[in-house]
A and B are shown apart, each in its own frame.
Chain A
């Protein structure tokens, strides 16, 4: 379980997060929604230790993640698929995947096999350099590279960005299936509120760095004001 308490982050004079609190539990998808610049990416980067907060705390289970280096947070079983996917273009598909498995206790050969079974398109391209992959293939690779380490927590930053509607919808179904079958704690950051709310159990809405609403996904999805002013779901 991930618990964020009263978290504040500043980039110099810019306050990117203001007293944000939220909880994400195993087996559930917690969607974090909001417009451009709402602070969604900053929230995930702070959880992963890439950004230091000015106040508040973050816990994974009973362990505080504050001031812990990013690589050690990962080794606790937290996988973060960053905005833009973070595929290393100069490496092959297989080397990207192997890299994902190195820090864990997972047997690399078995891990690769499991991911190729899950994403056959990656198996077909295992020797290809990632610069040649399409957007959808990169997203698959980023997911597989996160999953190969068998994490407990999965942070996803706008996985649907740039994907065709059909691919997005398949991806969302996959995320839900993984979350439930592996009892993953998923924090799903999306601008695509409609797609995210369809699979999420809980939702948090950010606006200018502050939480303006949170609760179960259905309630958030049904709130006319939220839909109109923060989620862009009403024309």
Chain B
């Protein structure tokens, strides 16, 4: 058993999961927005980065780690809500390319502003968890208290989001607004408000992904989320864009794929993991991963 935990196979499993949960969080956040407003938010990663940078600025003033996390999430939610209200709402009913163009522009603006305020060097917040790997009979287990924290936090957030959608009145109204906006309106649901709340939730989930990066040994730099966004985007696409579970599974799969490529091939080509998963998914579903499930009315 102990030699199993320290095997290189398990090293890769742990490493892949640690990376994968970050992709899953981003993928989940993309799916929340896609389901409610049918926008592919290309600025999702940059918004998360920006929110976390704002959260980090508090660290110098002696605020504890958990306050930084909370602040990043709150700033992320505010940014998400404001983005929906100001940038996206005027574009409903317009061609689907419009919000994509706007959000790609917003991504560039956020990264430029972050770089000019905080420079392009990586910033870290030290999480109150050790980064030192566990050992078993003198051999390394590729798990540290921090990695366990990162996986538990990500899974906890996903469960929280799932519970909110599944079990609360707000979640029911969010689901109805996404599934059948007109019927929801006829039943008195304030659909516009639900769309804003959907963006807020999504940006809050995204911020957690950036917070985890910032808490890790490499820290977070302004364009750091670009690669994470691509992986999260592929994960969401492979999962079908309509399915939160699919997105989460896609994220884990890509994390694992990248880790195994890194270990058995070369670290330089690790990002190919996502592409390989995408190609395989396209081979299984040649009709396209963006095809909507049948019977869905807008």
Contacts and interface: CB of A to CB of B under 8 A. Distances in A.
Interface string A48-60: 1010000000000
Nearest to A103: B188
Report, nearest first, the 10 A-B pairs whose CB atoms are least far apart. Answer: A103-B188, A74-B188, A70-B185, A86-B183, A71-B185, A75-B188, A88-B180, A80-B186, A71-B188, A71-B190
A102 B188 contact: yes
A131 B173 contact: no
B179 A71 contact: no
B182 interface: yes
Given A88-B176, A91-B175, 20 more contacts: A70-B182, A71-B184, A71-B188, A71-B189, A74-B185, A74-B186, A74-B187, A75-B188, A86-B183, A91-B172, A91-B176, A95-B175, A98-B169, A98-B172, A99-B184, A102-B169, A102-B173, A102-B187, A103-B188, A149-B187
B97 to A, nearest CB: 24
B187 to A, nearest CB: 5
Contacts of B180: 86, 88
B153 to A, nearest CB: 30
Contacts of B191: 71
Contacts of A103: 187-189
A95 B176 CA distance: 9
Interface of B: 169, 172-173, 175-176, 179-180, 182-191, 295
A145 to B, nearest CB: 7
Interface of A: 48, 50, 69-71, 74-75, 80, 82, 86, 88-91, 95, 98-100, 102-104, 131, 145, 149
Contacts of A50: 182, 185-186
Contacts of B190: 71
19 contacts: A50-B182, A69-B185, A70-B182, A74-B187, A86-B182, A86-B183, A88-B180, A91-B176, A95-B172, A99-B173, A99-B184, A99-B187, A100-B187, A102-B172, A102-B188, A102-B189, A103-B187, A103-B189, A149-B188
B146 to A, nearest CB: 39
Nearest to A80: B186
Contacts of A90: 175, 179
B186 A48 contact: yes
B183 A88 contact: yes
B179 A88 contact: yes
Contact of B183 (A82, A131, A149): A82
Given A86-B180, A99-B176, A131 B295 contact: yes
Contacts of B179: 88, 90-91
B196 to A, nearest CB: 14
Contacts of B187: 74, 99-100, 102-103, 145, 149
Contacts of B182: 50, 70, 82, 86
Contacts of B188: 71, 74-75, 102-104, 149
A88 B295 CA distance: 11
B131 to A, nearest CB: 43
A91 B165 CA distance: 12
Nearest to B193: A71
Contacts of A71: 184-185, 188-191
A40 to B, nearest CB: 16
Contacts of A69: 185
